[in-house]
Amino acid sequence: MSDSDEDYMSDKLLAGCDTGVTNPGLLFNRSQKRTHEQYKQKLDEKVKKPKTYHEQEKEAREKGLSTAISSDNIGFKLLQKMGYKEGKSLGKNDSGIKEPINVALKESTSGVGREKHIDDIVKKKSELQKEHLQNREKEYLAARQKRNTWNLLRSDFFKSQRTCEELDEREVSFVKHFEIIRIFFFRVLKSHYGLSFGVSKLQNQLKTLLLQKKVILTLKIL
């Protein structure tokens, strides 16, 4: 190999390559390149765009309020002569504020006190809505408790009604059986011994037995 022929493994070939593209993602078509150029142009305009007067005024105000008064200031020296110490609050009791009052600059075009009035209205509406929701919740709980009580009473009523029906059925069955026994018993007594009882006495005895039977059945069911 001659000296004039460059080695393809040499670093000279790499050094001569164009290194202008540093992004790992390459832009192949024209639309992507145009979009990228527009994006870069917007960023450059945003950086180079001068700040408005209001922005400069706001930055200067915030910087001034955040910076403490230096000891070379005439007002600060007067405060020191009156007994003020740096880092302390004003007053003898040392109970005042240590930070300066925040300056809230009015930027809207509404009248004086209008924003506070609107804030008060919004706050009042929020409180009324919260109170309304609490009342709705109380009404719902009261209605649910009333409905549960009514369902419980209704269930007890149907249970009592069913118990009374069962007692009536048992009473009718008992009366039928008692009537059959009575007729058979008195027929036997009359045919063999010729005995007879008064009707009123038998009715009273029957009522007494029925009442006793009903009380016993009620206690068993309950």
- Residues 187-201: tens digit of each pLDDT: 655 555 444 544 445
Buried b / exposed e over 108-127, threshold 16 CB at 10 Å, is: eeeeeeeeeeeeeeeeeeee
Does the reported pTM lie above 0.75? no
- Residues 63-116: tens digit of each pLDDT: 887 777 777 888 888 888 887 777 777 767 777 777 777 777 777 777 777 888
Tokens 């045919």 sit on residue: 191
Range with the poorest average pLDDT among 159-163, 167-171, 210-214: 210-214
Amino acid making up residue 104: A
Confidence of residue 60 (pLDDT cuts 50, 70, 90): confident
Q: How far is CA 142 from CA 94, 148, 204, in A?
A: 54, 10, 52
Report the run of H or E that residue 171 belongs to, with start and end: helix 114-192
Mean pLDDT across the stretch 206-218?
59
- Residues 35-46: tens digit of each pLDDT: 888 888 877 777
Considering the chain, what is the average pLDDT of its residues? Answer: 72
